[in-house]
């Protein structure tokens, strides 16, 4: 396997640079990984024998590809005029490595300090299925600012990386230009891999993405310029607990958490307050949540604080076994909410071995809220609506009854949610099975009329 020396001949002024170890992997690597995965999936009697033969071979190809990848990175850094390269974004994707960490560090240092990179993504890959748990690369804090305040970094995304303890405090120079805002005061620390604490009162960071990390808690103490936050869990650790401090400009939030099957989720993480109770009440205007798991782990307890600024809400990938009415907790805490989009996942097929994905979970028995009325919600959209599911209909009836300004209810039987980046979304209908007129009349009547109330002006649209 030859090192990609051609990378050294890249033009000096490219808006985006992407270096991935997949570019130098042999096709034999992918065939071997697929063969190993299929053997494990079917539970073959010779699976252990296949694993014993293939894993050493896969690891050997991994090491060869890593050496070639690092040689290519070194060729880029050592090319004539490398310091004068310019790029806005850099994406690095590599296998876990210990001997080559210095080359990766040097690439990040050069990109941030010399090339003017504003958007940096660093992703560590597993070599083969069931590799030891990541993270495998400790992102060095000193690379974000070399003391000369040259950093223009606006966004940093770390995939399967570990943040080391950051103890230094850097201060903005007296006449620091606006493009170096990210080189301001920055201090964070890690506590036993369980908590990530960020305390940066002079930071210019506007976007923070925590993706598939092992932190069980994230505490944002001071991030005065933070506007967008994404915490994306993968279900390998208990649900993250969020704590919001001084984040006065935070507007867009994306939370994706799946409760692990083992061990059981701690009780204090089951309360929605542990995730959103301390969110900035006035600034947060758009929220997307994906809370999943074999069993509903959110308890029907109201939020302790109101989300006064929330205007748009997406509740995506709701398992079909959950009671879909749990977003009432967010509706009742967001008096200014104007748009509510809910996406219910498709039920598991009858042939699925995962019985827990097909058995309906316990319903939520809501306590009466007296004369609660919501006076700003105008549109409700439910993707994955099933007319024969009483829980869906009951939740929609509740929304129509208590939302005084509701105008449209859009129900999509077969559809999906298309992401527009990390903080935007669109609901799309597959349109494979059109609704019949009598279905529309029946559903519309159930949703718009109750025993003691009627909302004939609400438009019910079936797609």
Q: Give 197-228 pLDDT, tens digit per residue.
A: 888 787 777 888 887 666 778 888 888 888 99
At residue 150, the pLDDT reads 62
Rounded Cα distance, 286 and 325, in Å: 20
* Residue 181 included in any domain: no
Q: Which of 50-54, 69-73, 170-174, 194-198 has the highest mean pLDDT?
A: 69-73
pLDDT-derived band at 172, boundaries 50, 70, 90: very low
pLDDT-derived band at 182, boundaries 50, 70, 90: very low
* Residue 153 included in any domain: no
At residue 285, the pLDDT reads 95
Q: Which of 74-78, 146-150, 272-276, 393-397 has the highest mean pLDDT?
A: 393-397
**285 in Cβ contact with 252 (< 8 Å):** yes
At residue 4, the pLDDT reads 61
Contacts 24+ apart (CB under 8 A), 144-147: 144/112, 144/182, 144/183, 144/186, 145/170, 145/182, 145/183, 145/186, 146/109, 146/112, 146/113
Q: What is the mean pLDDT of residues 249-266?
A: 76
Kindly report the pTM of this predicted structure.
0.72
The proportion of the chain whose per-residue pLDDT surpasses 90, expressed as a percent, equals: 26
Position 47 pLDDT exceeds 80: no
pLDDT-derived band at 59, boundaries 50, 70, 90: confident
pLDDT-derived band at 186, boundaries 50, 70, 90: very low
Higher pLDDT among residues 48 and 413, named by residue: 413
Position 145 pLDDT exceeds 70: no
* Residue 397 included in any domain: yes
Q: Can the peptide bond before residue 368 be classed as cis, meaning omega within 30 degrees of 0?
A: no
Q: What is the mean pLDDT of residues 264-291?
A: 82
* Residue 72 included in any domain: no
Question: What is the overall mean pLDDT for the chain?
Answer: 79
* Residue 455 included in any domain: yes
* Residue 4 included in any domain: no
Cα→Cα distances 149→3, 9, 105, 159, 206, Å:
34, 29, 18, 26, 17
- Between the CA atoms of 105, 108, 112 and 113, what dihedral angle is there, to the nearest 10 degrees? 40
Length of the chain: 463
Q: Which of 410, 405, 396, 390 is nearest to 448 (CA)?
A: 396
The angle, 0 to 180 degrees and rounded to 10, between the axes of the packed helices 390-402 and 437-448 is 50
Count of beta carbons in the 10 Å neighbourhood of residue 149: 17
Q: What is the mean pLDDT of residues 59-66?
A: 88
Q: pLDDT tens, 17-35?
A: 999 998 888 888 888 888 8
Q: What is the mean pLDDT of residues 447-456?
A: 91
Count of beta carbons in the 10 Å neighbourhood of residue 108: 21
* Of 91-100, 138-147, 327-336, 419-428, the least confident: 138-147
Could you give the number of structural domains in the chain?
A: 1
At residue 192, the pLDDT reads 38
At residue 429, the pLDDT reads 81
Count of beta carbons in the 10 Å neighbourhood of residue 354: 10
Pairing verdict, β 228-232 and 252-258? parallel
Q: pLDDT tens, 240-253?
A: 788 898 999 999 99
Higher pLDDT among residues 439 and 288, named by residue: 288
At residue 35, the pLDDT reads 82
At residue 193, the pLDDT reads 46
Phi, psi of 157 (to 5 degrees): -120, 125
Cα→Cα distances 353→46, 58, 283, 356, Å:
22, 30, 44, 9
CA 369, 287, 397, 374 torsion: positive or negative?
positive
Higher pLDDT among residues 207 and 256, named by residue: 256
Higher pLDDT among residues 87 and 189, named by residue: 87
Position 10 pLDDT exceeds 50: yes
At residue 444, the pLDDT reads 92
Q: pLDDT tens, 354-405?
A: 555 556 778 899 988 778 999 999 999 999 998 888 999 999 999 999 999 9
pLDDT-derived band at 313, boundaries 50, 70, 90: very high
What is the domain range of residue 330?
311-348+363-463
* Residue 434 included in any domain: yes
**139 in Cβ contact with 188 (< 8 Å):** no
* Residue 405 included in any domain: yes
At residue 439, the pLDDT reads 84
């Amino acid at each position: 396997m030859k090192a990609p020396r051609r990378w050294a001949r890249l033009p000096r002024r490219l808006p985006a640079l992407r270096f991935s170890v997949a570019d130098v992997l042999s096709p034999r690597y992918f065939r071997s990984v697929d063969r190993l995965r299929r053997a494990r999936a079917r539970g073959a009697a010779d699976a252990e024998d296949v694993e014993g033969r293939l894993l050493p071979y896969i690891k050997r190809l991994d090491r060869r590809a890593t050496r070639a990848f690092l040689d290519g990175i070194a060729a880029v850094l050592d090319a004539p005029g490398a310091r004068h390269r310019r790029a806005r974004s850099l994406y690095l994707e590599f296998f876990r490595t210990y001997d080559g960490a210095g080359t990766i560090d040097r690439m990040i240092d050069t990109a941030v300090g010399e090339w003017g990179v504003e958007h940096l993504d660093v992703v560590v890959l597993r070599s083969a299925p069931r590799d030891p748990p990541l993270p495998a690369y400790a992102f060095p804090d000193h690379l974000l600012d070399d003391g000369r305040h040259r950093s223009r970094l606006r966004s940093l995304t770390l995939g399967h990386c570990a943040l080391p303890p950051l103890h230094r405090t850097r201060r903005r120079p007296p006449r620091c230009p606006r493009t170096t805002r990210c080189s301001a005061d920055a201090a964070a620390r890690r506590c036993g891999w369980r908590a990530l604490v960020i305390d940066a009162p002079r930071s210019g960071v506007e976007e923070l993405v925590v993706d598939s990390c092992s932190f069980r808690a994230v505490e944002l103490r001071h991030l005065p310029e933070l506007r967008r936050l994404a915490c994306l869990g993968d279900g390998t650790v208990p649900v993250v607990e969020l704590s919001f401090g001084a984040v006065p400009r935070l507007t867009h939030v994306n939370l994706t958490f799946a409760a692990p099957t083992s061990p059981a989720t701690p009780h204090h993480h089951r309360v929605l307050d542990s995730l959103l109770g301390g969110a900035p009440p006035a600034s947060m205007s758009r929220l997307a949540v994906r809370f999943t798991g074999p069993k509903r782990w959110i308890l029907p307890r109201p939020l302790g604080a109101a989300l006064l600024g929330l205007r748009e809400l997406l509740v995506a990938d709701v398992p079909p076994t959950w009671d879909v009415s749990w977003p009432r907790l967010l509706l009742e805490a967001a008096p200014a909410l104007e748009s509510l989009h809910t996406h219910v996942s498709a039920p598991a097929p009858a042939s699925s071995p995962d019985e827990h994905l097909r058995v309906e979970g316990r319903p939520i028995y809501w306590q009466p809220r007296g004369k609660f009325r919501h006076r700003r919600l105008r549109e409700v959209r439910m993707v994955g609506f099933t007319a024969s599911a009483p829980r869906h209909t009951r939740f929609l009836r509740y929304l129509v009854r208590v939302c005084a300004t509701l105008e449209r209810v859009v129900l999509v039987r077969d559809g999906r949610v298309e992401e527009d980046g990390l903080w935007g979304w669109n609901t799309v209908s597959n349109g494979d099975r059109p609704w019949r007129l009598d279905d529309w009349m029946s559903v519309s009547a159930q949703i718009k009329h109750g025993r003691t109330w009627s909302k004939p002006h609400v438009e019910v649209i079936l797609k």
